[in-house]
Structure 1
Amino acid sequence: MELVPEPAEYEGPATVTLGEDSFSVRVRLRGHRQPIDGVYRWYGRIDPHPALNRAAGNRKKRVRLHTPEGVAEAQLGDRDFWGRLRVTGHSTPPFRVATAAATEERTAG
């Protein structure tokens, strides 16, 4: 039986860098590897932040997302009903991801 890593998640503090400006925010992120192309895709929401909302406007924006676990390029997207901005990225996420080997060690021990 092949072991597949569990989907990774991160919830906590982060910094969004948009142009020259940085914003301290709280995020909820998760991700998974796409089986067809093998690319890791991650996504989530940024809690409402008035200054970031003003800076982002109503168009998609490229940003850098920093968490205590890593840094990644991302894209800001739509706002939901609660004012949370969507954030998406691909490849290496700004949070730790368990590998298949780590999953195997956990289940064997």
Structure 2
Amino acid sequence: MNDEEYRGPAVLRIGDDRHPVQVRLSARFEPIEGRYRWAGRTGSDALLTERVGAGLREASLAIGERPTTVRLSEPDPWGGVRLSGTGTPPWFA
């Protein structure tokens, strides 16, 4: 694993709720845009899959104490949810 990848624990903040998840994320720098784009998936999570299925599309993702806005989409057949974001990835120090 390198700095452009992260696997491990994170917390999704959905409104006032804090929901712990396991994530696999990767980032790439887009030189034309001058910023990072990053994406990945959560591990299997029935509650999160249900919430996304009901229309939830945005939350805050924190790895450590660094929260950032994240888009939620595409529950997969194994119960994970796709995450994506722009800007500095939340696992960068």
Same fold per superposition (TM over 0.5): yes
Instruction: Show structure 2 runs of 5+ residues with no match.
Output: none
Please state how far the C-alpha of 1:83 moved relative to its aligned partner: 1.8
Counterpart of 1:20 (choices 9, 16, 21) is 16
Contact 2:52 2:75 in 1 (8 A): no
Larger strand proportion, structure 1 or 2?
A: 2
Please state how far the C-alpha of 1:74 moved relative to its aligned partner: 0.5
Per the alignment, residue 71 of structure 1 pairs with: 67
**How many residues align structurally?**
92
Please state how far the C-alpha of 1:60 moved relative to its aligned partner: 5.2
State the one-letter code of the partner of 2:34: G
Q: State whether structure 2 residue 35 is matched by structure 1 residue 48.
A: no
State the one-letter code of the partner of 1:59: G
Larger helix proportion, structure 1 or 2?
A: 1
Contact 2:53 2:75 in 1 (8 A): no
Q: CA RMSD in A?
A: 1.9
Per the alignment, residue 80 of structure 1 pairs with: 76
Counterpart of 2:90 (choices 87, 91, 94) is 94
- Identical-pair percentage: 35
1:13-62 CA distance string (max 9 Å, x none): 01111122221110001101112211211101001111222222253511
Structure 2: distance between partners of 1:41 and 1:69: 20
In structure 2, do the counterparts of structure 1 residues 20 and 56 end up closer, same or farther at CA, with 3 Å as the change threshold? Answer: farther
Q: Greater Rg, structure 1 or structure 2?
A: 1
